[in-house]
Amino acid sequence: MIKKFINKLIEGILMLSSTVTTLTVLLIIVFLFSEGLSVFKESPLEGDNIIVLNHQNKVSHISSSDIKDIFDQKITNWKLIGGSNDSIILFTFNEINNYFSEEELGPEFEYLPAKMDSLLESQSGMIAVFSKKYLLKSHRSKIIQADKINPYSFINGSEWFPTANPAVQLGVLPLILGTLYVSFVAILFALPVGLATAIYMAEVANEKTRRVFKPVIELLAGIPSVVYGFFGLIVIVPLIQSSFHLPVGETGLAGSIILAIMALPTIITVSEDALRNTPRSMKEASLALGATKWQTIVRIVIPYSYSGISAAAILGIGRAIGETMAVLMVTGNAAVIPHTLLEPVRTIPATIAAELGEAPANGIHYKALFALGCILFLITLIINLWVEFSSKKRRIGK
């Protein structure tokens, strides 16, 4: 009786531990998305800042990028953002001494609210952004809302200035494009070389050579990414800088080269396994018909293992997209949409790694970085599921 109970108990414990991975995936989803999606409830203004206008102004809400354009003086008339034809007068605290003397404001700025209110009412086109505590209780000026961060402008926006003042700019398009760009170029480098190595190991090399190659490739996979990054930083970056005569060597190309080297083991191992799965009888039939070994490889082995090879390529891209440290160290981290490989770029993982340390917990920047994490998670999840299901189909197909 007791023995049976103990057996059941142990089985229960084993079962519980088998649920840990599922639980972790679920928890990751819950935490990532609850933090990440809450960025869309945030106003782009810093702290408890508010936007205050003259009460006659017809504008009732304003987007984050418009605020930036107004303060960069790219938008100079209210007409452009739905108001009346009146030029915009900026008020910034740097220029406060042009308006008021220190005595007028009082030693602890106690007269500032009243002064601000009357200043805003005297100029019909004025806009000011300041902390809520400087707002007069019986204010005549009009407070308007900054639009909340919206998902469309988040994905589609091309400016990433998460700490900009007065309004943060959260456009992740340059980061997404940078990530995909660097990763795809890396696979373009790595796939031909990796595939050739896999074919060599599976079909051409003798047993002895294979016994040398296999552990070396395992070792290549085991080297920490920060060591690759370090190597890239001291060897590849200066090399690129001098051979292309660039001001800086930290470029997308450097990232792609390092990622290509790092993706090689994945591509080689997965495609070698796929090539090896070709049934012996098919190869022998081809050879018996007079085909050379090379013809057999091209006409029989590669077509047969096509889906495995494509899985290798996709997995390689997945690895490259998620890689953080090496890319962070060699790509130069400029959050602009890349046009050539010889410019600095910035990827999603590198952005998270570089900025999360400085972002105050639960602030808008912190949440935006979690939202980036969500995008990264979704991209890699899709890649994993794709590989998983395509390999299942392959197994059933056999």
The CA angle 249-159-354, to the nearest 5 degrees, is 55
200 touching other proteins, by CB under 8 A: yes
The span of 84-92, 101-109, 192-200, 305-313 binding other proteins (CB under 8 A) equals 192-200
The span of 56-64, 115-123, 238-246, 347-355 binding other proteins (CB under 8 A) equals 347-355
Q: Which is nearer to other proteins, 155 or 325 (CB)?
A: 325
Q: Which is nearer to other proteins, 125 or 194 (CB)?
A: 194
At 157, is the secondary structure helix, strand, or coil? coil
303 touching other proteins, by CB under 8 A: no
Q: Which of residues 351-380 bind other proteins (CB under 8 A)?
A: 352-353, 356-357, 361, 369-370, 373, 376-377, 380
Q: Which of residues 113-132 bind other proteins (CB under 8 A)?
A: none
CA–CA dist 387, 112 (Å, integer): 63
294 touching other proteins, by CB under 8 A: yes
390 touching other proteins, by CB under 8 A: no
Q: Which is nearer to other proteins, 45 or 372 (CB)?
A: 372
Q: Which of residues 34-93 bind other proteins (CB under 8 A)?
A: 35
How many residues belong to the chain?
A: 398
226 touching other proteins, by CB under 8 A: yes
Q: Which is nearer to other proteins, 285 or 298 (CB)?
A: 298
Which residues have CB under 8 Å from 276's CB, separation 6+?
A: 202
Q: Which of residues 15-44 bind other proteins (CB under 8 A)?
A: 15, 17-22, 24-25, 27-28, 31-32, 35
Q: Are 332 and 344 in contact (CB under 8 A)?
A: yes
Two tokens at 15? 């079962």
DSSP assignment of 310-367, as one string? HHHHHHHHHHHHH--HHHHHHSB---S--SSTTS-B--HHHHHHHHTTTSPTTSHHHH
Q: Return the number of other C-beta atoms located less than 10 Å from residue 74's C-beta.
A: 11
At 144, is the secondary structure helix, strand, or coil? strand
CA–CA dist 160, 396 (Å, integer): 46
Strands (E), the chain: 49-53, 61-62, 89-91, 126-131, 142-146, 160-161, 169-170
340 touching other proteins, by CB under 8 A: no
Residue 74, phi then psi, degrees to nearest 5: -90, -30
The span of 68-76, 110-118, 124-132, 213-221 binding other proteins (CB under 8 A) equals 213-221
Q: Which of residues 231-290 bind other proteins (CB under 8 A)?
A: 231, 233-235, 261, 264, 268, 290
Judged by CB under 8 A, the residue of 213, 241, 248, 394 near other proteins is 213
342 touching other proteins, by CB under 8 A: no
Nearest to 264 by CA among 231, 209, 216, 301: 216
Judged by CB under 8 A, the residue of 82, 151, 224, 303 near other proteins is 224
The span of 62-70, 115-123, 160-168, 349-357 binding other proteins (CB under 8 A) equals 349-357
**CA 3 to each of CA 7, 16, 252: distance values in angstroms, whole numbers, following the listed order:** 6, 20, 63
Judged by CB under 8 A, the residue of 292, 303, 339, 340 near other proteins is 292
The span of 72-80, 113-121, 130-138, 190-198 binding other proteins (CB under 8 A) equals 190-198
State in angstroms the smallest separation of the CB of 10 from other proteins. 6
State in angstroms the smallest separation of the CB of 34 from other proteins. 9
227 touching other proteins, by CB under 8 A: yes
First to last CA, the chain: 47
CA–CA dist 119, 352 (Å, integer): 42
